[in-house]
């Protein structure tokens, strides 16, 4: 039985002007009909979707899948499938794998493994420089030809201003978007928490606000000079938000995202030495968190990301300063997004935009369609379901989350992307 009829769902596709009850008939690889005529469902499996939402598949702009380089923590198969089962139909891998994504061989390996996994669609960001180092540019044209959707320095601060300038100019000449994570390589280089009263009380070396804002000021100036389209990942400070807003007001072709922990948590959540909350960028002040939330609501920040970084158990059992930074984010991405709706920060339309549509526009991939012949790219969610997030029931191989024990709304009943689908 290949055909599936989703019956009676509340379809929410803002870009299509659809916000109503609808039926959708599809088969792997093809939408057959929106609101099919009576009898068209003969032989199809019926999914009763009363009370459920049919939405565009979620898109995560930053997810380390730990392959290549650290497959003892996770791998493309485990994480791409976990993502699909949690409603994420597109994942983006930053270039800081091991080896770095600076050759066509690495790109081809990742994309081949992703096809074999048959989970979420995986996109790859290539490295701006060889080895994400400070000496020479990567072969960006070759990386694009191999399948890279953008290039960037995500995960590795860059100190060589002249090299970064040339890299941005080269990317602009190829009309290739860049994804940047603005971090000064020296200020706060040994830090493990936000520099402030909380880190001082715990005797933890700090990462000051200027570690982000100095690098962001430089990057914005070089982006403007090069005329390149740029996405800034993982903003964490109120001042950084203000700088981005000013750049957008001047018409720079820039966008930005924020990671879920920085939207919900603050520097106090690292106490007492909670390794699960050892993150980079660090959890910052309440004022920073509130500025990030406001920017997410008003659109200065375009997208939500999980910044998925699965670690093995030993990596988080070490003392806070030496614990591996980062959190596993795929399992909580949907629930935390729906929680933003519950809290009144976002309405449903804005949440869909920040978690599904804006990321597609940033990546330059098409928005989901429901017309006959379109590729399926949607999820069916029960928004009324609530479930406690427990490490032992997480689908990712990484069980490291600062949200353990939180009760989160939402459950994915169906997820479909191209010829792959999951049905609970």
Locate 413 and state its tokens: 């009943």
- Pseudo-torsion of CA 281, 158, 222, 182, nearest 10°? 0
Name the one residue in this structure whose structure tokens are 């290739």. Answer: 176
Q: What percent of the chain has pLDDT over 90?
A: 97
- Boundaries of CATH 2.30.40.10 in the chain? 4-54+371-396+407-423
pLDDT digits (tens, 9 = 90+) for 66-125: 999 999 999 999 999 999 999 999 999 999 999 999 999 999 999 999 999 999 999 999
Q: What is the pLDDT of residue 74?
A: 98
pLDDT digits (tens, 9 = 90+) for 346-357: 999 999 999 999
- Cα–Cα distance for residue pair 320/312, rounded to 1 Å: 15
Q: What percent of the chain has pLDDT over 70?
A: 100
Average pLDDT over residues 235-257: 98
Average pLDDT over residues 202-229: 98
- CB burial of residue 371 (10 Å; 0-12, 13-18, 19+): exposed
Q: Are 223 and 243 in contact (CB under 8 A)?
A: no
Average pLDDT over residues 197-203: 96
- Cα–Cα distance for residue pair 359/375, rounded to 1 Å: 18
- CB burial of residue 38 (10 Å; 0-12, 13-18, 19+): exposed
| Architecture of the CATH domain 57-363 | Alpha-Beta Barrel (3.20)
Catalytically annotated residue among 307, 324, 331, 353 = 307
Angle at 388 between CA 387 and CA 390, to 5 degrees: 130
Q: What is the pLDDT of residue 38?
A: 87
Rg of the chain's alpha carbons, rounded to an integer? Answer: 21
The SS3 of residue 27 is strand
Please say if 23 is a catalytic residue: no
Q: Are 383 and 409 in contact (CB under 8 A)?
A: yes
Q: What is the pLDDT of residue 42?
A: 86
Locate 190 and state its tokens: 């040994």
Q: What is the pLDDT of residue 1?
A: 55
- Boundaries of CATH 3.20.20.140 in the chain? 57-363
Query: In the CATH scheme, what is the code of domain 4-54+371-396+407-423?
Result: 2.30.40.10
Residue 36: Cβ within 10 Å count: 18
pLDDT digits (tens, 9 = 90+) for 165-195: 999 999 999 999 999 999 999 999 999 999 9
Q: Which residue from 62, 18, 124, 121 is spatially nearest to 359, judged by alpha carbons?
A: 62
- Cα–Cα distance for residue pair 10/363, rounded to 1 Å: 27
Average pLDDT over residues 121-141: 97
Alpha carbon distance, N-terminus to C-terminus of the chain:
15
DSSP 340-357: HHHTTSS-HHHHHIIIII
Report the chain's mean pLDDT, rounded to a whole number.
Answer: 97
- CB burial of residue 389 (10 Å; 0-12, 13-18, 19+): middle
- CB burial of residue 134 (10 Å; 0-12, 13-18, 19+): middle
* Counts for the chain of helices (H) and strands (E), in that order: 13, 18
- Cα–Cα distance for residue pair 89/83, rounded to 1 Å: 7
- Pseudo-torsion of CA 128, 131, 132, 133, nearest 10°? -110
- CB burial of residue 322 (10 Å; 0-12, 13-18, 19+): exposed
Position 334 pLDDT exceeds 70: yes
pLDDT digits (tens, 9 = 90+) for 266-300: 999 999 999 999 999 999 999 999 999 999 999 99
Q: What is the pLDDT of residue 296?
A: 98
Q: What is the pLDDT of residue 359?
A: 98
């Amino acid at each position: 039985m290949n055909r599936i009829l989703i019956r009676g769902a509340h379809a929410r596709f803002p870009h299509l002007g659809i916000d109503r009850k609808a039926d959708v008939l599809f088969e792997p690889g093809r939408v057959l009909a929106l609101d099919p005529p009576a009898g068209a469902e003969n032989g199809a499996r019926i999914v009763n979707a009363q009370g459920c939402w049919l939405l565009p598949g979620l898109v995560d702009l930053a997810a380390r899948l730990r392959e290549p380089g650290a497959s003892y923590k996770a791998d493309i198969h485990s994480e791409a499938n976990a993502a699909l089962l949690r409603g994420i139909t597109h994942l983006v891998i930053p270039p800081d794998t091991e080896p770095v994504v600076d050759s066509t061989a690495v790109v081809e390996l990742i994309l081949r493994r992703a096809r074999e996994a048959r989970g979420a669609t995986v996109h790859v960001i290539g490295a701006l420089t060889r080895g994400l180092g400070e000496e020479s540019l990567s072969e960006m044209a070759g990386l694009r030809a191999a399948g890279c959707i953008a290039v960037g320095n995500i995960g590795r601060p860059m100190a060589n201003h002249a090299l970064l300038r040339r890299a941005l100019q080269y990317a602009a000449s190829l009309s290739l978007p860049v994804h940047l994570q603005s971090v000064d390589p020296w200020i706060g280089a040994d830090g493990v928490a936000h520099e402030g009263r909380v880190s001082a009380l715990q005797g933890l070396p700090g990462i000051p606000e200027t570690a982000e804002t100095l690098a962001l000021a430089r990057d914005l100036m070089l982006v403007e000079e090069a005329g390149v389209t740029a996405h800034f990942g993982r903003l964490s400070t109120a001042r950084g938000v203000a700088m981005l807003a000013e750049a957008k007001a001047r018409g720079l072709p820039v966008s930005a995202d924020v990671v879920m922990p920085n939207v919900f948590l603050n520097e106090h959540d690292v106490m007492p030495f909670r390794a699960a909350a050892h993150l980079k960028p660090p959890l910052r002040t309440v004022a920073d968190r509130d500025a990030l939330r406001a920017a997410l609501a008003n659109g200065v920040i375009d997208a939500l990301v999980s910044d998925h970084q699965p670690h093995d158990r030993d990596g988080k059992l070490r003392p806070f300063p030496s614990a591996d930074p980062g959190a596993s984010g795929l399992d909580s991405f949907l629930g935390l997004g729906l929680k933003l709706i519950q809290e009144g920060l976002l309405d449903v339309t804005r949440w869909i935009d920040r978690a599904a549509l804006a990321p597609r526009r940033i990546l330059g991939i098409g928005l989901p369609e429901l017309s006959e012949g379109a590729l399926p790219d949607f999820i069916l969610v029960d928004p009324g379901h609530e479930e406690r997030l427990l490490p032992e029931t997480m689908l990712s191989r990484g069980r490291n989350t600062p949200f353990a024990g939180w009760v989160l709304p939402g459950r994915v009943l169906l997820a479909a992307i191209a010829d792959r689908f999951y049905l609970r």
